[in-house]
Structure 1
Amino acid sequence: MQCTNSLGYLRQKVYACLTCNPNPSQEAGICYSCSISCHGEHNLVELFTKRHFRCDCGTDKFKDTPCKLDPKTAGSVNALNQYNHNYLGRFCWCDIQYDPIKEESTMLQCVVCEDWFHDTCIGITPHNDDFDDFICRTCTRDHTFLRRYAQNSLFMIGLSKQGDGPKSVTMVDCSKMDDKDVKGKSIDKGDDTSSATQELNKAEEQIDIVTIAESTAAVTATVTTTTTSTISTTTTSNSSEKRSLSTTVDTIEDVDGDDSGRNKRFKQDLDACKLQLQPDDAYPDQEMNLFATEGWRDQLCQCVDCMALYTKEGVLFILGEEPVFEDEEDDDAETSILESGMKRLSEMNRVDAMDGMLAYNTMRDELRTFLAPFVEQGKVVTAEDIQEFFAVRES
């Protein structure tokens, strides 16, 4: 196992240690390996995935708990880590301390802010099998461009009035809506049904007709010229005929070249910003939770202006699925302690193996002798009793 600190900032599974960092001024997180090796007996909260995170174990955040896997220099900090109330074991808009024993709600993670929210706090939600990703109302408020895409058929919208709390009280499933106006705005169903897109399609069809007509006329003229040239050279040698045919091909390629250049220019004209083609926000006076289905990221525009917008708002990651760092699989995870021990024993040289077996047998006999009175008296063996046994044995 290794601490991921040396690997830099990653999207990875993160844990909060409430034993080491219980106060709001001490938010910190640790990687999976450190949660086992360095904080195994502490009060941990699993935060699941967090993006652009570097393990804090052994840094200045954990002054009293050094990292056993990767000792850090004094004063080490991860300045680019961003923390929220999750690192204190608190989640959702309700900010309630998470208790795995008492928790009964299903929780959804927002793909933008990566906070977790109770389904009871979200309000109306689709069935879990009907959507892939959740975007919370806080993020649609902070990144308003998302509200423009919401009327696409790949989204379901949870609405609530501003000031009425976070719960969605109305659900709008855009995939089941006909082509009609929503508050005077056309719904984009993801198949170019908006008025702006329809106008663009009409323009494209007209351009294609003109292009085909021009190309046909050019090719006809070329073939006519070439045919005349070929007839006039029929009485000449075969090499002349080959030259005429070659000229015909070259001429047609030139026409195609002109046509490709024209189409390229037309394509550049038609590469309009997808965001600008979306209808205006149909629900400007309401809070909006979004439930997205597979493929929704493909609808997002990647023009220069939109890429600058994503960068400015710090959500460039939204364009694609993000890789998650996975720890190396533990070969012994599926085996019993006996099998793991025998495997390690087989890897040792014979002398060390024999010494190990003798030491094990001695400790086994001593432990049996120590536990005999407990059996006779029907007394419960506590952790303190076992600690006492090993303390006496080591002295």
Structure 2
Amino acid sequence: MAAIKDDADVDDILADEEELVKALCVLAGSDPENCSYSRGYVKRQAVFACNTCTPSAAEHAGICLACTNKCHDGHDIFELYTKRNFRCDCGNGKFGEFKCQLFPAKDEENVRNHYNHNFSGCYCTCDRPYPDTDDQANDEMIQCVVCEDWFHSRHLGCAVAEPEELQEMVCEACMNKAPFLWSYAAHFAVPPVISVSHLAEEVEVNVEEGAEKEEDSEPGQSRDEEPSTSTDHAKQEEATNRSSPCKRTHEEMAGSLAKATTRTVACRLKELEVKGLEKLRQGAVFWPYGWRSELCTCTSCKKAYVAAEVQFLMDLSDTILAYENKGLAEPFGQHPLMMLTNSMDRVQQLEVIYGFNELTTSINAFLDQCVAEGKTVTAEAVHQFFEELRARKRRRTNAGYQ
């Protein structure tokens, strides 16, 4: 095995390790042995589509991880990452005579399942497959946490933040489907691009008009004129404070209005709206982890979530991060590679993961070559492939001792 040369190599390997762990976590949260159908509409699980069994775009169907492994081995499979509130379709009425080997007694249809063009292997607003052999842009894809479709970053209609800030994304269509999210975006999005709303403008105009009216009410009174009594002086000072931007700015007036409203309004959303800030209503919105905890849960807002079909946003365990963490904590989430590296020191861990990534890359290249050349993957071809890998490793090892 080649030695790690410098910090850049270490960073690359650690990045690969993180991607590997994420990929394993997606599968770790789902049972690879037992069909999930008996669990009903599972809160979140890895979902796949079989292009061999259900190729029609008019008859979408999704299958769980166990059925992908046991019932559809060798089929043309679309990996859809995860879906929420989904029940396995394997072997139901959409599959004709094909029956599930793990749980054959299924209803004809799962009426609460939601499907989109992902189940036909297409993604984004451009409705293209992934990977797309005709697309030379090599653009990353990001999943919307509401509709769960995947989008090319160039098709999101906004500037994409730095990768470390890409926590959760809501596409523009879903933002408009739940328009109250724009008010939250002004305060919690990454970055919170905002514009001044009509509320702030109205406050400013009202303040100026109030000053003019006050001046007109006492035309014979000069600002420099000595007031006749202490009471008049107090009134004069109060009037000046209300009218002079040097004493009280328009922003302070808006802040006072927000504070006054906070005392009487229990709705978190309304509290944000009176602050006079609004996210520019265009493009996708990126949110940091934890933003859902800022959402109001008053009765009125809960009804709005249900009406927009986004009530799951109130559930902090709905997130992909929560799903991945849950998968790692469960017995079938302990991937052999991860258990193997637990007993190693840091250098050994990096070497193993480096080797695993190299092996994965080589296998993928081998399979892609077979497909491109129209060859059948035979046992003899696989044995030859691994023999070449062993020979390559021997050459590297021998070179290291020279």
Q: TM-score scaled by structure 1? A: 0.56
Q: 1:64 to 1:150 in 2, by over 3 A?
A: same
Q: In the TM superposition, what is the alpha-carbon distance from 1:331 to its structure 2 partner?
A: 7.5
Kept in 1, the 8 Å contact 2:185–2:279? The answer is: no
Kept in 2, the 8 Å contact 1:18–1:44? The answer is: yes
Q: 1:288 to 1:321 in 2, by over 3 A?
A: farther
Q: Answer yes or no: is 1:35 the counterpart of 2:38.
A: no
Match among 166, 176, 185 for residue 131 of structure 1: 166
Kept in 1, the 8 Å contact 2:200–2:254? The answer is: no
Structure 2 match to 1:391: none
Match among 112, 117, 129 for residue 146 of structure 2: 112
Provide Cα deviations, 1:332-373, integer angstroms capped at 9, x if missing partner.
8559xxxxxxxxxxxxxxxxxxxxxxxxxxxxxxxxxxxxxx
After the TM superposition, which residues 222-261 of structure 1 pair with which residues of structure 2 at under 5 Å, given as runs? none
Q: Answer yes or no: is 1:76 the counterpart of 2:108.
A: yes
More helix by share: 2
Unaligned runs of 5+ residues in structure 1 are 157-172, 188-192, 205-268, 336-379, 387-395
SS of 1:117's equivalent in the other structure is strand
Q: In the TM superposition, what is the alpha-carbon distance from 1:195 to its structure 2 partner?
A: 6.5
Q: Answer yes or no: is 1:52 the counterpart of 2:112.
A: no
Kept in 2, the 8 Å contact 1:131–1:294? The answer is: no
Q: In the TM superposition, what is the alpha-carbon distance from 1:383 to its structure 2 partner?
A: 4.1
Kept in 1, the 8 Å contact 2:55–2:120? The answer is: yes
1:21 partner amino acid: T
Q: 1:197 to 1:63 in 2, by over 3 A?
A: farther
Structure 2 match to 1:93: 125
Kept in 1, the 8 Å contact 2:59–2:94? The answer is: yes
Structure 1 match to 2:35: 3
Match among 155, 163, 167 for residue 121 of structure 1: 155
Q: In the TM superposition, what is the alpha-carbon distance from 1:197 to its structure 2 partner?
A: 6.0
Q: TM-score scaled by structure 2? A: 0.55
Higher relative contact order (CA 8 A, sep 6+): 2
1:201 partner amino acid: K
Q: In the TM superposition, what is the alpha-carbon distance from 1:148 to its structure 2 partner?
A: 1.5
Q: In the TM superposition, what is the alpha-carbon distance from 1:330 to its structure 2 partner?
A: 7.5
Q: In the TM superposition, what is the alpha-carbon distance from 1:184 to its structure 2 partner?
A: 5.0
- Cα root mean square deviation, aligned: 3.4
Structure 1 match to 2:7: none
Structure 2 match to 1:303: 298
**Number of residue equivalences:** 250
Distance 1:381 1:147 in 2: 53
> Radius of gyration: which is bigger?
1
Structure 2 match to 1:313: 308
Structure 1 match to 2:332: 329
Identity of aligned residues (%): 32
Q: In the TM superposition, what is the alpha-carbon distance from 1:308 to its structure 2 partner?
A: 1.1
Structure 1 match to 2:179: 144
Distance 1:84 1:385 in 2: 40
Kept in 2, the 8 Å contact 1:197–1:277? The answer is: no
Distance 1:197 1:146 in 2: 22
Q: In the TM superposition, what is the alpha-carbon distance from 1:99 to its structure 2 partner?
A: 2.7
Q: 1:331 to 1:283 in 2, by over 3 A?
A: closer
Distance 2:377 2:296 in 1: 63
Q: In the TM superposition, what is the alpha-carbon distance from 1:137 to its structure 2 partner?
A: 0.4
Q: Which moved more, 1:62-71 or 1:324-333?
A: 324-333
Kept in 2, the 8 Å contact 1:133–1:292? The answer is: yes
Q: 1:194 to 1:24 in 2, by over 3 A?
A: farther
Q: 1:383 to 1:81 in 2, by over 3 A?
A: same
Unaligned runs of 5+ residues in structure 2 are 1-32, 202-250, 339-374, 382-402
Kept in 1, the 8 Å contact 2:36–2:64? The answer is: yes
